[in-house]
Structure 1
Amino acid sequence: MELRQLEHVLAVVEAGSLTGAASRVGLTQQALSKSLSRLEDSIGGKLFERETRGMALTRLGETVVEHARDVVASAGRLKSAATAELGFERGKMVIGLSPIAATTEIGRSVVRFAEAHPNLRIDVEAGIDREFVAALHRGQIDMALSTQTVDHQDSVLVQQLASEPWGIAGCAGHRQLSKAKSLTDLRGAQWVLGRNTDHLDEAIADAFATLGEPRPQPGMMTTSVLFALTALTHSETLAILPRSLCDNLSTLMWKDLCDGAWASPIFLMRRKRAHLGLGARKLIEALQAENI
């Protein structure tokens, strides 16, 4: 049994298919299939059953995966710990940072920490919380700073660091928004909406419903923050965005028209029982001191 074989099993579970898993681990589908077969021979039973929608774990496979996550994560932490022990200032730290966290004071805290420790390499990985939880389990990141859309997991420690307000954004001098004192004043507006407000959907719907207004309907939908900002700057469309994303852009205006009811808590997430290097520990201390 080899570590890479366990990594291959986890890749199949996360991708749901041999094709997707092979792409993730950089192997051909045939090579990945052989690796899984060798692991099954070593263990003495089948780990997967082929189904029309992909690969499904057997009961034995579920047991193996449960332990494989611990083994792979431990190996990742061992490598990180060994690197850290070679010297904090020559170490490396990997952080998961969500788009919202990146634009807030949290993101700026990471930048200040990096400036204060120029010899410490800090890799910042973009993503969302469900991706970060998987990366924490695999030992690929030391911590994540993110809003949260998935349930807390027993294996992950979660601590709130900050809260980011959301509001209505439009171009500077927007004819409707500049005069608006209530959400009712935005009636008939055109909207560009993203798919990153899931955690606020109920609060947004309630705010409009309380005033007898329908929830905004998209003229455009996007997953690109850059496109949303471009659309706002060059048109009369409106969007629901976090304040920090708009604060330093002279081309935009931002208003809270819901009395602070729309807010995203931003969390520090790390794996329980994980060994944190000196750099990671110092960053956590800095984040807690600056943002709590």
Structure 2
Amino acid sequence: MEHRQLVHFLAVLDSGSLTAAAQRVGLTQQALSKSLSRLENELGGKLFERGTRGMTATRLGESISEYARDIIASAGKLRHTASAALGLERGRLVVGLSPISAASLLGKRLTQFAQNYPNVRIDVEGGIDRDFVAALHRGELDIALSSQVGGQYDGILLEQVSSEPWGVGGCVNNQALQDAQSISDLADGNWIIGRNTDLLDDIIAETFSNAGLPMPKPGIMTTSVLFSLHALSQSDFLAILPQSLCRDFNGILWRDLSDGAWISPIYMMRRRRAHMDELVSVLLRELKG
């Protein structure tokens, strides 16, 4: 069997669709189907069943999936190691960073690491935990740092390396926010609501309930952090945001009005069975401070 056949197999497994998998690996659906057929012939059984919901792995497909991920990930590390040994590069790390992680102290420590080790090439990929899990399994990332980790993922190790406080952000000239002593003082506020507080929703709702307030209704609903920050700096809107995103943005005032209750952990994510070389170990030590 060939390395690329396993890449094609995992693309279908992760996407659940021949169409999406073909786009991911840059093949036509016909070429991808032929590659899967050749792999099935070598293994002696079907890897997928077609259904109304797309491609579903058979028992054989499920049983080989983790081995396939190990092979792909190890091949990626082998290429990096070989390149270093041949002098093509002195070292390379690929790190996934969620928006909050990137804006936090961890992002600054990663930048400092790059300055301390100028012969190491660092590739930084944006995304959230779901993106990182798939990329880690494919061997495309060495580690990832994310605040939105909703639970355990098969084959992924999670280690908390930091935490991020959340509060209410608004324009520096917003008098109500300047004077607020508690969340109840913002009962008449206009709110921008995002979809990045999922893991804090219960404790945020509890804070508003204890103040005798319903959860704020959105005047604006958005998934764009950059839009939120610009809108806040130019209006009387308020938003619940992590401190790190507001700290260095001109025109934004950030207040902790939950007595420290709104806080989310930031996790380091890596493949459970991935080899941790010395470069990754050094990076992790410096990220932890």
TM-score (norm 2): 0.94
Amino acid at match of 2:183: L
How far has the Cα of 1:243 moved from its partner? 0.6
For 1:60 and 1:280, the matched residues in 2 are separated by 34
For 1:273 and 1:66, the matched residues in 2 are separated by 10
Q: Structure 1 114/193 Cα, relative in aligned 2: closer, same or farther at 3 Å?
A: same
Q: Deviations over 1:121-149 (max 9, x none)?
A: 10000011122122112111111111142
Partner of 1:264: 264
Aligned residues with identical type, % of pairs? 57
Amino acid at match of 2:102: A
For 1:88 and 1:271, the matched residues in 2 are separated by 26
Amino acid at match of 1:51: G
| Contact persistence 1:149–1:198 (CA under 8 A) | no
Partner of 2:69: 69
**Which is further off, 270-279 or 55-64?**
270-279
For 2:266 and 2:150, the matched residues in 1 are separated by 13
How far has the Cα of 1:83 moved from its partner? 3.5
| Contact persistence 1:192–1:218 (CA under 8 A) | yes
| Contact persistence 1:77–1:274 (CA under 8 A) | no
Matched, 1:98 2:102: no
Aligned 1:44-59 pairs, distance under 5 A: 44-59=44-59
| Contact persistence 2:83–2:89 (CA under 8 A) | no
Gaps of 5+ in 1: none
RMSD: 1.7
Q: Structure 1 261/90 Cα, relative in aligned 2: closer, same or farther at 3 Å?
A: same
Aligned 1:247-286 pairs, distance under 5 A: 247-286=247-286
**Which is further off, 218-227 or 84-93?**
84-93
How far has the Cα of 1:277 moved from its partner? 3.4
**Which is further off, 269-278 or 125-134?**
269-278
Describe the SS at the equivalent of 1:176.
Answer: helix
Matched, 1:131 2:124: no
Matched, 1:205 2:227: no
**Which is further off, 91-100 or 264-273?**
264-273
| Contact persistence 1:156–1:269 (CA under 8 A) | yes
Partner of 1:32: 32
| Contact persistence 1:96–1:125 (CA under 8 A) | yes
How far has the Cα of 1:235 moved from its partner? 1.4
How far has the Cα of 1:88 moved from its partner? 11
Q: Structure 1 148/85 Cα, relative in aligned 2: closer, same or farther at 3 Å?
A: farther
For 1:19 and 1:259, the matched residues in 2 are separated by 49
| Contact persistence 1:83–1:92 (CA under 8 A) | no
For 1:7 and 1:258, the matched residues in 2 are separated by 47
For 2:162 and 2:277, the matched residues in 1 are separated by 24
How far has the Cα of 1:89 moved from its partner? 6.8
For 1:88 and 1:158, the matched residues in 2 are separated by 32
Q: Deviations over 1:7-59 (max 9, x none)?
A: 11111111111111111111111111111111111112111111122111111
**Which is further off, 150-159 or 161-170?**
150-159
Matched, 1:159 2:159: yes
For 1:274 and 1:51, the matched residues in 2 are separated by 33
For 1:256 and 1:224, the matched residues in 2 are separated by 22
Amino acid at match of 1:187: A
Partner of 1:189: 189
Q: Deviations over 1:100-159 (max 9, x none)?
A: 000010000000111112221100000111221221121111111111423224532222
Partner of 1:11: 11
TM-score (norm 1): 0.94
How far has the Cα of 1:199 moved from its partner? 1.0
| Residues matched between the structures, number | 289
Partner of 1:240: 240
Partner of 1:215: 215
Describe the SS at the equivalent of 1:111.
Answer: helix
For 1:35 and 1:18, the matched residues in 2 are separated by 12
Amino acid at match of 2:22: A
For 2:277 and 2:73, the matched residues in 1 are separated by 15
Gaps of 5+ in 2: none
Amino acid at match of 2:74: S
